[in-house]
Amino acid sequence: MSSVYIYSGDGRGKSPAALGRAVQTAVAGGRVVLIQFLKGKGLGLQDSEFLRRLEPEIKLFRFEKSDENYEELSEERKQEEISNIKNGIGFAKKVLTTGECDLLILDEVLGLVEKGILQAEDLKNLLDGRGETDVILTGINLSDEVCVLADEVSKIETVNSRNK
């Protein structure tokens, strides 16, 4: 039986935690697809030469075209990116429907729900088609509607920070 895991909270380390699960899955012979949302180039994992070397076991995708963070875009460019983001969600649905991987990571997908780009009901419908594929959702804010979709929720918070 497949499971849905959520890594949320205001602390740093949600994406690296998901990546750690990806490496565990790959080491065990599984295939992983990681799709990133709402991260400009340079902020996401996509730009890492190291992670590219993990292919084909761990495949990384980013559908947004902008180099800038989503929040910094003009309204017109946000609309273009929303279209790209929806293509990414469509790709995630295809991955789940075809059973293309053993673990699907939707990095920062909770931010899509928070911004109203994706509705909690849409996310539920996406997850309902997961078959035997485990799914990890990450993001800062977790709504009650999304929380109930998970088998396990991890809250990552910063307790103490020494920024010097």
- Residue-wise pLDDT for 8-40, tens only, equals 999 889 999 999 999 999 999 999 999 999 876
Beta-carbon contacts of 136 under 8 Å, excluding residues fewer than 6 positions away, are 4, 5, 6, 7, 18, 21, 103, 104, 105, 106
Could you tell me the domains of the chain?
4-155 (3.40.50.300)
Identify the burial level of 125 via C-beta atoms within 10 angstroms of its C-beta, where 0-12 means exposed, 13-18 middle and 19 or more buried: exposed
Contact between 4 and 149 (Cβ < 8 Å): yes
- Read off the pLDDT of residues 84-103 as tens digits, 9 standing for 90 and up: 999 999 999 999 999 999 99
pLDDT at 121 > cutoff 60: yes
- Read off the pLDDT of residues 126-145 as tens digits, 9 standing for 90 and up: 999 999 999 999 999 999 99
Closest alpha carbon to 56 in 85, 31, 25: 31
